[in-house]
Structure 1
């Protein structure tokens, strides 16, 4: 008998001793262990979403990372409260990917999860109050004031109230003290009500009831009955016009959206009467929020050039030996057609494909081209989508609805389980780097790692490859394929340099436009051709200044000049969003000579309007494309010929393909070239070459006018001749000499604090500790950041250059984690924010 009871006790103990390590969306170093209640044992697994309590009151959504039977040693495991999924939302490959990203980019896996999972799949907890069932106001020893009595009275008729409900009820801004008082008096209970953010979109529809849908005689009799009720008759006629059931009975089952009747200004009361009388029935269905694409057609008969065919064959051959291939194709060489061919072959083989693009602007343009081929097999994913739309794409990838995804850098987090091909177009783009918040990842590099986990292939495409990718190709780590000719034998544009200083001396400079650029624009307009003007700075002018003493308005919260925006007549900080009206007098000397200095896209747009009053000018920058379809609207107008001149920032430099663009003007090439960054030459070459590639895309030779004060700079000759190889060799010699990528790995460590001395002291202590790590490295700093203060936080930075050819990187990161933990645990540095940025530039 004792043995029997002993066995039962042991079995029960084993059954209860089940634990799960949960990934939580908070910046903690490890996963947190929770106990799995017996009731949830059968419905839980790796990748499932669960609800857990973290801390005293906070309720979070976590992802199960591991299931085991080892209880935590340092704390008593709390129970998992509930499981949200009937199947895993995240797959094991994703968790491996998150772990790699957390280690490589020196952050926490919870921060990666927070970035990866759409907000709609995370739960929010909201504090609510309810009456304490044991509370009796007559027996209470505590008196209640009028406001407390109002809340208790409301709770008698309502089961629960939110904090916000109470604030509205009493007309106060903060309710916390009153709630606290009622809790102390044991009159109420506070609890957390969890609600899932994602809600499916429900659509109300109307359809004919069976007697009228199936019996033509009944339908005819209905019109006889409604002959004296014209409004009801109109409703029925509208339905039959949209849903001709007499031709196809099956159409009735889908019904008609209820909003069709309201949009047609038909009587809704008549519709209600018809529903009440059994003519129509109302029902609801769950519909997708995503724009329905046309069904993909068969693979179009793209007439590939001999060079494109050779490129495809070469890519496939090199994929036999190498996981990554760089496709170096000049602008207009037809890379997109090659992508389409490879995507189709991967999908035919049953694999998933991820097509990464750096900007939403490119997404808008390329989606139209790809949708004609792949239709509803293709999902689109970018930051302008709402939370619910992102969840639908996520679920579409999970279910297999979208084997092809076209998206920006966050697309790498989608739940792929059988990736076969990753295409990274414009792989050189700085937009692939996320700077804030953590994880501060590079999507190109992370995409290559994601592909490795899936044993997939990667195709990198660019007309101006990043030096890292080109270096890897030269070192035979990557395969390499070149496209040196434009598709259809289109000619490369003609480059011309316009010297701003020469025109200024000769009094030929008008509103910042040289004579050469003005004449070229006018010539294009006379021929009804289109013009692109590139200036990589939005706003009207970089800043305003006093013409007498030189005073310049600065941001109150950041160490930067305020940018002048003529629209709204205000000064804005592009770091924190602070804005103020343009001053009429100088704060320093009282002068009223406040002038705008420098060029922004707004000012160029205004100048073009004055120089070419007959031209239709549109601006494309962050300010004009904030809405969901802002990019699309502008591009459609330009593509439709409704715009003569498009002024833009780097949004216009890539991927756009318009037949009628013959002139491209680059306003301030020196600003790109002189930026204080070791990549400034590389970025200048890339941006100028990319925007130049928008000119002369078909049978016409385009013209590119580069305005500069340094027309003798060698880089302009390399850009004009398209000599990427020579430029690369020149720059790489400099980088090797001064130890910059790709010859070393860079890590930037920043300290931030509202107190200048605290930020500086933490930076110096941290720098000294890191300097003691015994690996081959060069330490620079600590120095005040290029922008020394952002959002009232002072910034100091140290830059570490690590030997790439050794184990230095791994050892440095391991010791860095220990040092960061030590420094941040010190009382003096509790408020100091330390940011680690791997591959920062």
Structure 2
């Protein structure tokens, strides 16, 4: 009987594809295994088996798979269900979900290779160069294109190979390799004949004339002393330790050749191990213990519990207590964090409690490190994983608890590429599927989550006192209009903020300055002709980065050097306008030359360990002032921070978005929470032109419930989430008129189906042109109680196919963002 498999391919095509299994692999392949298949004429890719059956496809002849990569599944049935649910809900394809879910190291890479054709017997057809090239192929079996290029030097490689292919002298093929490589280390030990103190001493004496070999042996015996040799020799030592001791490589090689030393390889983890005696217990305060008990009690009746704990209340300790209880019950735990910046401090604390049973998963890890965590979860080596949003796709088989810390964070939502999923919402669906529980934690919960708690769908637990003797900070609004009138501003710093920073430095305390804009300044401006540099691909100004001496577009990455004079009029009077984190850092160094100043934003944290290094320096007290973007607002806990300064609060509040008030409240409250974490009361200074703004007043009063009550009335009045679902459609094309026309056609069709009141737009995008494509946006507002969301999505799918298959609009792209944030 012929055996066929349906597979998910990592391409944006909605259907599964059917391939034929060779007979000898029919019993080895399982659902969840990876196979290598040819797709199209020449593309080779990793596919995922989702079904095994005996039915050939009706519309096309089934190709044979090229290779079976696994004999045991690397993806679980629950994951396959999740890929399909995410694709259905977020209106993308299972292949796009698979592409994001699987670490790159589990996908194959292919390389073009050249091989001698064993059926070729016409040497007389070859030139002298071709003959010498063929000799290399016979000797090497096969070589890569790159190696062939080096052999031929100046020759035209494609022309040369084309000639050999025409003569049937060579075969071109794709060699497929798995990217993941286990980490192997070389180990060294004495041969068992010498593994006693007596025999080792005799050996040492016999090497008297071979001084360098004797040095190698002496170094080995300094690591494993004679009195421990018979006990520890079998385990050996890392070869690298001997090499670091600068012993002679040739002497070591000679001892291995003689059989005095044995060398072998072992596979090791890429993650540092933690000594068991460094593991710590935690002690909960009475308030924390009460919160933990309440959460566990609610889990008996609620699938999801919202934990509303103010900043500094010690939510992490409560999480640890609940994680321990879940692990003790024999289930797996996933702890989600919104971004990598948060993992540094929290992971350190969790590692001290859970040691090597804990895995860490985020995009700054190498492909190989991520695959090791993936396999560790699959084999249940890691019962507990801390990770960012993509870790929701790990292969858990016995998941009992998911914690979503800082659940309000927009970083949980993926924007590009598809799937544009929200990890918090996917976590809730996964937990329902696996009969697990979800704990959402935040000092400033999202409106949606707090509404669900208020209406009884989620459980709600509040923790409203800070841990220990810590007090909430004193929050003060600094009126920048008054400062300008009095001319007391220094650069963009109010006199109040500068005085507080100076006092903090004198008192050996630390300060955090928050500005949600990176770079030196938002733009340059010519004082003579008003020229402002714009991106040549996007309708935005270029941000000035002083240290890199470049102007950069933060949308497409385009950059150019800073001009010495205005390119429009030749004037040398070109100055920076506005303030970014880089400028604040420079200004602070100038105003407080004796102070240590550090910056934490996307530009300073691109490398793998940059976060750890910056946080480490700040923790030790070497740095007085930390300047940063959103990265400094959450999850960080520093003993000496006594002052937080907030720049441009008005821009956060007045951003043209229905969520701007909510985001401003969350960001400013979160960064305020970094101040005064111990006995001393911290100070927060918010620079604003409008101190009477209602959002700022709620922040000053630390009144989340008041803010929520005010905001939820507006949301209900205008039918915004949580009372509706929003689907955002972005229509894009290089031709502005075509993009606008396509958007108008799509909007009209959806209005005809849903009614005028449910469709907003089309409007020009907030940034109209990005990467040379013009953007027009349509918003669909769908009431949760009245609408059949699934039927509406199906109709939208059909209309999108209808639109982009029309000849006129074939170049148009439509991006669908379900539950846009």
TM range, normalised to the smaller chain? over 0.9
Give the drift of 1:796: 1.9
Separation in 1, partners of 2:140, 2:377: 42
Structure 2 distance, partners of 1:479, 1:190, is: 62
Asked whether the equivalents of residues 294 and 376 of structure 1 are also in contact (C-alpha less than 8 Å), the reply is no
Q: Partner of 2:505 in structure 1?
A: 525
Structure 2 unmatched runs, 5+: none
Q: Report Cα offsets for 1:380-429 as digits up to 9, x if no partner.
A: 01110000000000000011110000010011010001110000000001
**Aligned pairs for 1:293-308 within 5 A:** 293-295=274-276, 300-302=281-283, 304-308=284-288
Give the one of 20, 24, 28 matched to 2:5: 20
- Residue in structure 2 matched with residue 91 of structure 1 by the alignment: 76
Deviation at 1:776, TM superposition (A): 9.0
Please provide the CA RMSD for this pair. Answer: 2.0
Q: Which residue of 2 aligns with 1:4?
A: none
Q: 2:344 aligns with which of 347, 351, 364?
A: 364
Q: Report what 2:214 is aligned to.
A: 233
Q: Is the 8 A contact 2:331 2:383 kept in 1?
A: yes
Determine if contact 1:21/1:65 at 8 Å carries over to the other structure.
yes
Tell me the SS of whatever aligns to 1:726: helix
Q: Alpha carbons of 1:165 and 1:227: their partners in 2 closer, same or farther (altered >3 Å)?
A: closer
Range with greater deviation from structure 2 (594-603 or 308-317): 308-317
Deviations 1:414-453 (A, max 9, x none): 0001110000000001111110011111111111111111
Of 474, 499, 513, the match for 2:493:
513
> Match for 2:267 among 269, 272, 286?
286
- Give the Cα–Cα distance (whole angstroms) in 2 for the partners of residues 109 and 752 of structure 1: 23
> Where does residue 247 of structure 2 map in the other structure?
266
Alignment CA distance shift 1:820-1:185 (3 Å): farther
How far has the Cα of 1:155 moved from its partner?
3.1
Q: CA deviation at 1:246?
A: 2.7
Distance 1:80 1:419 in 2: 33
**Equivalent residue number for residue 529 of structure 2:** 549
Who is 1:805 aligned against? Answer: 785
Return the alpha-carbon distance in structure 2 between the equivalents of residues 648 and 301 of structure 1: 31
Q: Give distance in 2, aligned partners of 1:786 and 1:520.
A: 37
Give the deviation of 1:306 after TM superposition: 2.3
Secondary structure of the 1:453 match is helix
**1:562 aligned residue:** 542
Aligned counterpart, 2:466? 486
Mapped partners of 1:238, 1:582: distance in 2: 57
Residue 764 of structure 1 is matched in structure 2 by 744
Partner of residue 829 from structure 1, selected from 802, 809, 814 = 809
In structure 1, the residue matched to 2:518 is 538
SS of the residue corresponding to residue 14 of structure 2 reads: coil
Instruction: Give the CA deviation at 1:204.
Output: 1.1
2:182 paired with 1:197: no
Deviation, 1:153, is: 5.6
CA deviations 1:4-49 (Å, max 9, x no partner) are xxxxxxxxxxx22x22110111111111011222211111111111
Q: Match of 1:594?
A: 574
Distance in 2 of aligned mates of 1:178 and 1:828 = 43
C-alpha displacement of 1:182: 4.1
What is the deviation of 1:174? Answer: 7.6
Match of 2:113 in 1: 128
Choose which of 84, 104, 109 in structure 1 pairs with 2:94: 109
2:332 to 340, 352, 363: 352
Q: Distance in 2 between matches of 1:471 and 1:145?
A: 79
Residue 320 of structure 1 is matched in structure 2 by: 300
Pick one of 438, 443, 452 that aligns with 1:472: 452
Runs of 4 or more above 6 Å deviation:
144-150, 296-299
**CA drift at 1:151:** 5.0
Given the superposition, is the C-alpha separation of residues 341 and 817 from structure 1 closer, same or farther in structure 2, using an over 3 Å criterion? same
Q: 1:760 to 1:254 in 2, by over 3 A?
A: farther
C-alpha distance in 2 between matches for 1:786 and 1:401: 47
Shift of the alpha carbon at 1:138? 5.8
- Give a deviation string over 1:639-683, Cα, whole Å, max 9, x none: 111111111111111111111110111122112112121111111
Counterpart Cα distance in 1 of 2:20 and 2:257: 53
Deviations 1:220-257 (A, max 9, x none): 11222233444323222221222235325342222111
- Aligned residue in 2 for 1:817: 797
Aligned equivalent of 1:418, options 392, 395, 398: 398
Residues in 2 aligned to 1:619 and 1:314: alpha-carbon distance in whole angstroms = 40
Contact residue 24 and residue 110 of structure 1 kept, 8 A:
yes
| TM-score (normalizing by structure 2) | 0.97
**TM-aligned CA deviation for residue 589 of structure 1:** 2.6
Shift of 1:610: 1.1
**Range moving further from structure 2, 441-450 or 176-185:** 176-185
C-alpha distance in 2 between matches for 1:173 and 1:441: 50
Change (3 A) 1:516 1:333: same
Q: 1:767 to 1:245 in 2, by over 3 A?
A: farther
SS in 1 for 2:385: strand
2:606 to 623, 626, 638: 626
Q: How does 1:787-802 map to 2 (within 5 A)?
A: 787-802=767-782
Quote the Cα distance in structure 1 between the aligned partners of 2:305 and 2:106.
35
Show the counterpart of 1:206: 188
**1:80 alignment counterpart:** 65
String of CA shifts for 1:91-135, please: whole Å, max 9, x gaps.
000001111000011000000001001111111222222233444
User: Is this contact kept in 1: 2:513–2:628, CA < 8 A?
Assistant: yes
- Cα deviation, residue 297, structure 1: 6.6
Single out whichever of 655-664 and 68-77 deviates more from structure 2.
68-77
- Structure 2 counterpart of 1:45: 30
Q: Deviations over 1:62-90 (max 9, x none)?
A: 11111122221111111223221121100
Q: Measured at CA, do residues 296 and 443 of structure 1 come closer, stay the same or move farther in structure 2, by a change above 3 Å?
A: farther
Secondary structure of 1:501 counterpart: helix
Is 1:703 the counterpart of 2:678? The answer is no
Q: Report what 1:276 is aligned to.
A: 257
Matched, 1:399 2:384: no
For 1:725, the equivalent position in structure 2 comes to 705
Q: 1:151 to 1:827 in 2, by over 3 A?
A: farther
Q: 1:682 & 1:156 partners in 2: Cα distance?
A: 69
Aligned with residue 57 of structure 1, among 39, 42, 48: 42
Q: Specify the alignment match of 1:12 in structure 2.
A: none
Deviations 1:303-327 (A, max 9, x none): x222222211211111111100000
Determine which of 392, 396, 410 is the counterpart of 1:430: 410
SS of aligned partner of 1:205: strand
Match of 2:438 among 434, 437, 458: 458
**1:755 matched to which residue of 2?**
735
Any unmatched runs of 5+ in structure 1?
Answer: 1-14
SS at match of 1:773: helix
Q: Deviations over 1:172-217 (max 9, x none)?
A: 698445544543443432222111111111111111111111x322
Question: Cα distance, 1:767 vs. partner?
Answer: 2.5
SS of the residue corresponding to residue 586 of structure 1 reads coil
Q: Distance in 2 between matches of 1:592 and 1:537?
A: 26
Cα distance in structure 2, aligned partners of 1:173 and 1:416: 53
Shift of 1:829: 3.2
| Contact 2:197/2:230 (<8 A) preserved | no
Deviates more, 1:711-720 or 1:181-190: 181-190
Shift of 1:137: 4.6
Q: TM-score, normalised by structure 1?
A: 0.94
Alignment of 1:237-252 (within 5 A): 237-244=218-225, 246-247=227-228, 249-252=230-233
Q: Deviations 1:697-751 (Å, cap 9, x if unpaired)?
A: 1100000011111122121111011111111122222222222111111111112
* Distance across 1 between alignment mates of 2:59 and 2:570: 65
* Cα separation, 2, equivalents of 1:675 and 1:292: 46
Q: Offset at 1:762? A: 2.7
Is contact 1:119–1:387 with CA below 8 Å preserved after alignment? yes
Contact 2:35–2:66, Cα closer than 8 Å, also in 1: yes
Cα distance change on mapping 1:276 and 1:166 into 2, 3 Å: closer
Inter-partner Cα distance in structure 1 for 2:695 and 2:764: 31
Greater mean deviation of Cα atoms: 47-56 or 320-329: 47-56
Tell me the CA shift for residue 291 of structure 1: 2.4
CA contact (8 A) 2:405 2:441 kept: yes
Counterpart-to-counterpart distance in 2, 1:675 and 1:776: 26
